[in-house]
Structure 1
Amino acid sequence: MASIHRSGSMGYLIILAVCVFLGVASYSCAELHRFEHAPKPDGSLTLFVIGDWGRRGAYNQSQLAFQMGIVGKELDIDFVISTGDNIYPNGLIGTDDPAFEYSFTKIYTASSLQKPWYSVLGNHDYRGDALAQLSPTLRHVDKRWICLRSYVVDAQVAEFFFVDTTPLVDNYFTQPGENVYDWRGVLPRNQYISNLLRDLHFALQQSNANWKIVVGHHTILSAGYHGNTLDLQNLLLPLLQENNVDLYINGHDHCLEHISSLESGIQFLTSGGGSMAWRGVVKWWKPEEMKFYYDGQGFMSLHLTQTQLDIAFYDIFANVLHKWTTSKHLHYSTL
């Protein structure tokens, strides 16, 4: 169990307020599952981010995977992050569903991509057998596949906090339309949300990493088709702001995007161009905040050292569309 040494912190008050609002009375603490992923011997880390991809190779998924293989070899990537909507249109029907192999194993075949794929569920994944994607059985099909609801990847140079954002969005419960969602393990929803936010808050506060990066499927800020996600702005964003998160990375909108909000030090990065894109929707955004927007297919790379972070966005021809760099002093733990 995680220790709590944070009485009086604003984040803890936020969690308590959320629990009261949701009518939840249990405040026991649990730790998010953690994975250890060592950086390179020089202390650096390089990875890809891609989302909204699983279409059996269609909508340029295969072509993009080919380019990822080439760039991945050049950059010597350590792992891949998937921002969700891994299998279209309605997730998997079970652990033996061939859609997993035809949308993943037989698409991302390059040697450079034979690295761990740390993944989250998207809303389309919840329309099928969500437990199938979470099942360890899939690792027997393809050992690269790592997918839990919410968890932490400790890569020493940075910590990555993966968040299951779909249950945070009201509309999937109140206005599901013709869609049927697999809420096993999520209900009662109020309890699930309070536990998730509480555990994330404690994990973020306990982190001594110089870079804190949160990954979810849904947008917080976006000029794309889906736009901002108000539920995440209300429930998730305050925790990220208080705990000095550097990046929030998401998919959901089928585009590539970089927003640098004037109200937060967080960089908001969308990498949801893994297959179907070109929606033709770009909502107005403050020019001083919108660093980059591309309404098309592509992927993102992230390179980190203890003191520098570099991002780059690539299109389907592996052309670099946008680069951004920041640096900070090395953080020393006082514990």
Structure 2
Amino acid sequence: MCDDEYTPPRPDLTERQWLDLDDSIVTTGRPAAEPVAGAAGSGVGRRTVLGGAVAGAAALALLPQAAQAAQAARAASGAPVDKFPLPSRPGPGGSYAVLVTGDAGTGNEAQYAVAEAARKVCRTEGVGLAIGLGDNLYENGPESAHDDEFHTKFEKPNTGIDVPWLMVLGNHDCSGLIPGSGGDPSRGDREVAYATTSRRWHMPARYYSTALPAGPGRGAPVVEFFAVDTNPVASTVTQLDPYFRWDGPYMREQRRWLDSALTASRATWKIVIGHHPYLNNGKHGSAGSYDGFTIGHYTSGVHLRELYEEVVCGRADLILSGHDHTQQILEPTKRSRGTRQIVCGTAGKKGDGKAHDDQPARWQDFGQHGFMVMKVSTGKLTIDAYTVDVATATATRVHRFTSTSALRARS
């Protein structure tokens, strides 16, 4: 959820239980069982605010009917999509250049300004691949695989960044009754379906891997990206569909896949990309204590922390995440066993300007829009962090991080 959104008053509520809480919680922070004198009639209720948001989103989804119908007709025709191809060899300098963005899909001035600034940098740096770290369509995700918001909040702003975009699902892409709750993971299937009709959007499944080769006949890949769906184990409400529960078939299948894929990978650099971070100094906090919660199967993200620590840490070089509207290049910790957390969620929204935790950091920014560019070769990985002035749509490189030793080389 975003900096200006609600978080549950206690962990492991269903969306209906949250909506049925007494309106007094909005102004007093207390449930109906704790009446407070003078609370009645004060403020606007959670049900009113969130119900209005859901109704408004549904109404907006009906407006661009002509555009939706045209896109649906193209999809129904069965015509193959001329997709931008994945890069097949490193660039002239021996590196792949990759744009990294997150939490972009607002459709607001900031998103368009960040995309314009990134477009200029991509041209200069020879970017051949981009990554979208979730929350691709605020606030509720797509209403269908042909929702016009795919155009206004992805295709249009990113015109000119004509490369494949490795996309992952964010909590807003999987909204249920409550925007950003992650309460209906099945909605993510609409984004997978959209990938079949878009030249840019690359999402062959809800979780998948993509390897970039060293070149024809040159052996092991330079880098492999492992895109994961973190929503069922990081939602702010209890999952009601047994398939998507934290311990249900979907997460068991995904865990087995990720474990096997990391084991089988021969890539020099292994990078896991998922919306929710493992470590984080921003407002939302780290997995296991999201938004200050430390109990329950949901809300806190405790089972996502387990997934990271038991399957990813010590095996992947980086975890790339959005969710928090900040940019952070954090240092590995004893728990992460050499795996480094990168947070980049400022392409459409920005944070509150201050740190909320003290995880060791190489560099971090909590109050500006921006993006990152990663350059990766067999012998070196570099990340350049950029901030963007929205008024002028100009980017400034503010930090460079370089590593010359992948975990695989050190093991």
Band of TM-score, shorter chain: 0.7 to 0.9
The one of 150, 156, 170 aligned to 2:207: 150
Question: So what's the TM-score if we normalise by structure 1?
Answer: 0.79
Give the conservation status (yes or no) of the 8 Å contact 1:79–1:115.
yes
Assess, with a 3 A threshold, how the Cα gap between structure 1 residues 185 and 151 changes in structure 2: closer, same or farther: farther
Alpha-carbon distance between aligned partners in 2 of 1:248 and 1:50, rounded to the nearest angstrom:
14
Larger Rg: 2
CA contact (8 A) 1:167 1:189 kept: no
Residue of 110, 120, 139 corresponding to 2:168: 120
> 1:206, 1:139 → 2: CA distance?
27
CA shift, 1:204, in A, is: 0.3
Q: Show structure 2 runs of 5+ residues with no match.
A: 1-84, 177-186, 213-220, 289-301, 389-393
Over the matched positions of the two proteins, sequence identity in percent amounts to 29
Which consecutive unaligned segments of at least 5 residues does structure 1 have? 1-34, 175-180
Q: CA deviation at 1:169?
A: 2.0
Counterpart mapping for 1:1-335 below 5 A: 37-40=87-90, 42=92, 43-56=94-107, 58-110=108-160, 113-127=161-175, 129-135=187-193, 137-140=194-197, 142-147=198-203, 148-155=205-212, 156-169=221-234, 171-173=236-238, 186=244, 190-230=248-288, 231=302, 232-243=304-315, 245-263=316-334, 264-286=337-359, 289-295=360-366, 296-316=368-388, 317-328=394-405
Structure 1 runs, 4 residues or longer, greater than 3 Å off: 183-189, 329-332
Q: TM-score, normalised by structure 2?
A: 0.65
Cα displacement string for residues 152-190 of structure 1 (whole angstroms, at most 9, x for unaligned residues): 00112101111111112263326xxxxxx9x69736952
CA distance in 2, matches of 1:185, 1:66: 40
Going from structure 1 to structure 2, the CA distance change for 1:224 and 1:187 (only over 3 Å counts) comes to closer
SS of structure 1 residue aligned to 2:347:
coil
Per-residue deviation, 1:292: 1.3
8 Å contact from structure 2 (residues 207, 228) kept in 1: yes
Deviation at 1:84, TM superposition (A): 0.2
Distance in 2, matches of 1:241 and 1:330, equals 10
Q: What SS does the corresponding residue of 1:212 show, helix, strand or coil?
A: strand
Aligned partner of 1:177 in structure 2 is: none
> What is the root-mean-square deviation in Å for CA atoms of aligned residues?
2.3
AA matched with 2:403: T
Summarize the Cα distance change of 1:145–1:185 in structure 2 as closer, same or farther, 3 Å threshold: farther
Is 2:344–2:372's contact at 8 Å kept on the other side of the alignment?
yes
Q: Counterparts of 2:91 and 2:129 in 1: how far apart (Å)?
A: 15
Give the letter aligned to residue 65 of structure 1.
A
Number of residues paired by the alignment?
Answer: 283
State the 1:95 CA deviation: 1.7
Distance of 2:242 and 2:168 partners within structure 1:
16
